[in-house]
A and B are shown apart, each in its own frame.
Chain A
């Protein structure tokens, strides 16, 4: 069993609890242990970097140092947390002066980051470390005929980290195919959901959400699959506001990829946090009924 230092991030404490639950269930099902980083702090989201780059990097470094102390690679289910951790770790590994400065601050909590661990997004753990073949093998209830729109969003692929294809990634589609569903191609799969603009520039954010939903609905998706709590919230929770604002009548479920994986592995829906959404997922559940 491989173990990872797991950084849930602030959203997964409550807002995106279902992501946390389904992440725990599905990793467990493929023999992976996610060990929560002890006493982790907020990584600053995208907002802290607006104010101060150095302190923002220090906040992330504290979590990295605790993860390293536990002796496992760092994994985050939230794309923004992942991006922050990835780049903080990269800068600390490359820049000795920066590392010294930040480690001096970390001393106050008896910590030190020496850069011996890797940073991954939860989806990378499934795709790269576990492998899609293995996931296919664990699929006992293939979601046959379910039309899934895989939604990458932004920070899981951008900015470019190392080997990944930023213009035409396919790993999300491969994962959806592995669980027996149809990964449908649509124009907005890599476009932005508005992120935190939903708070600061509402009109702009709602427009982006509308365009995205429209793009998936046009191609008759049954569900949009996400890999980030902020994307999930923008697309699902604000769907009603989009309808009010633009006179549309969207009602498309937005689920975490781990929830779909869990269903395909025959895990009980309650354990996957299904049932707390605004938009009913009943139709999706009917696809998971028959065992292979």
Chain B
């Protein structure tokens, strides 16, 4: 009888460009958690998350905020004695959870990522003011006011563009993206 790959094997194989991630070799030393600047904000520390993955605790892993809290600082990655790319793992989990549409309900990350991607595919460039509305409503009143004050200051200092930038060869750019993932035009 064929056996299905475990969750751990599945996640280990989600990094195609670098040909996988040796998650199974984790010795649970905790170097990653000790290094991680955001560990205190995470439901599970990086070490624990990898332990849970290797124990195939899929729900627990995907429901945690850990991978959305990763700042991609790669500090853990350069220190892991087993050469596990932990930051790369966090990316894999983001992709996996977006693909499965399974992530913590209050996470802002997935909405932000999707808005960001759509904005790039539409114009070829990223443009801050378009991105703002996608996350700003999740803020509390005080944070919202702070953010608005910051945005106003940036505007006054001429540091936010008024007209969204776009590519000259935008049609070619869209056709190029279409050859990788047919987007239905990504209009």
Interface residues of A (CB under 8 A from B): 10, 13-17, 39, 41-42, 44-55, 57-59, 62, 87, 91, 95, 98, 101-102, 104-110, 154-155, 158-160, 166-167, 190-192, 194-197, 199-205, 207-208, 211, 237-238, 240-241, 244, 276-278
A-B pairs, 6 with minimum CB distance? A192-B73, A158-B74, A109-B172, A105-B179, A108-B175, A50-B94
Is B29 at the interface (CB under 8 A from chain A)? no
In the complex, per-residue mask of B52-73: 1 if CB is within 8 Å of any chain A CB, else 0 = 0000000000000000110111
Contact A197 B75 (CB under 8 A): no
The answer to whether B18 touches A204, judged by C-beta atoms less than 8 angstroms apart, is: no
Count, A-B residue pairs, CB within 8 A: 186
A-binding residues in B (CB < 8 A) = 15-18, 37-38, 41, 68-69, 71-75, 77-78, 85, 87, 91, 94-95, 98, 107-110, 112-114, 116-117, 120, 124-128, 131, 135, 139, 143, 146, 150, 153-154, 157-161, 165, 167-169, 172-173, 175-181
Contact B150 A238, beta carbon cutoff 8 Å: yes
Given contacts A10-B126, A42-B120, contact A54 B180 (CB under 8 A): yes
Residue of B nearest to A46 (CB): B72
| A15:B128 contact, CB within 8 angstroms | yes
Indicate the member of B68, B94, B169 with the most A CB atoms within 10 Å: B169
Q: Is the CB of A91 within 8 A of B18?
A: yes
Residues on the B chain within 8 Å of A211, using CB = 37
Q: Are A195 and B72 in contact (CB under 8 A)?
A: yes
Counting chain A CB atoms within 10 Å of each CB, the highest count among B69, B72, B154 belongs to B72
Residues of A within 8 A of B38 (CB): 192, 197, 201, 204, 208
Considering the complex, give the chain B residue whose CB is closest to the CB of A54: B180
In whole Å, how far is A161's beta carbon from the nearest beta carbon of chain B?
11
- Bound: A51/B111 CA distance, A: 11
Given A105-B179, A192-B73, is A53 in contact with B173 using a C-beta cutoff of 8 Å?
Answer: no
Cβ 8 A contact of B161, one of A13, A91, A106: A13
Q: A51, A91, A205: which contacts B117 (Cβ < 8 A)?
A: A51
A55 with B181: in contact, given A39-B168, A194-B71 (CB under 8 Å)? yes
Known contacts A45-B126, A46-B72, A195-B71; is-contact A53 B95 (Cβ 8 Å): yes
Given A87-B17, A101-B180, A106-B176, 10 more A-B residue pairs with CB atoms under 8 Å apart are A14-B161, A39-B168, A41-B124, A42-B125, A47-B113, A50-B109, A58-B180, A194-B71, A207-B41, A237-B150
Q: List 14 A-B contacts (CB under 8 A).
A: A39-B167, A48-B117, A50-B98, A51-B95, A53-B95, A57-B17, A101-B180, A105-B179, A107-B179, A154-B72, A158-B77, A159-B78, A208-B37, A208-B38
Which residues of chain A are within 8 angstroms of B124 by Cβ–Cβ distance?
41-42
Most A CB atoms within 10 A — which of B85, B120, B177? Answer: B120
Q: Is the CB of B146 within 8 A of A203?
A: no
Chain A, Cβ-Cβ closest to B108: A200
Cβ–Cβ contact B74 & A155, under 8 A: yes
A207–B69 CA distance with the chains assembled, in angstroms: 13
Contact among A54, A110, A278 for B157, CB-based, below 8 A: A278
Decide: A159 and B159 in contact? CB cutoff 8 A: no
Establish whether residues A201 and B41, one from each chain, have CB atoms under 8 Å apart when the complex forms: yes
Considering the chains assembled together, what is the distance between the CA atoms of A237 and B78 in angstroms?
29
* Inter-subunit contact A58/B176 (CB<8 Å): yes
- Beta-carbon contact of B179 and A108 below 8 Å: yes
Cα A40 to Cα B176 with chains together (Å): 14
| Residue of A whose beta carbon sits closest to that of B94 | A50
Residue of A nearest to B157 (CB): A276
Task: Known contacts A52-B181, A154-B74, A192-B73; decide if A59 and B150 are in contact (CB<8 Å).
Answer: no
Residues of A within 8 A of B98 (CB): 50-51
**B159-A52 in contact (CB<8A):** no
Q: Taking the nearest CB of chain B, how far is it from the CB of A251, in angstroms?
A: 15
The reply to whether B153 and A278 contact each other, CB–CB distance below 8 Å, is yes
Partner of A45 from B108, B116, B146 at Cβ < 8 Å: B116
Bound Cα distance from A80 to B71, whole angstroms = 12
A102 and B154 CA atoms in complex are apart in Å by: 38
A192 touches B75 (CB 8 A): yes
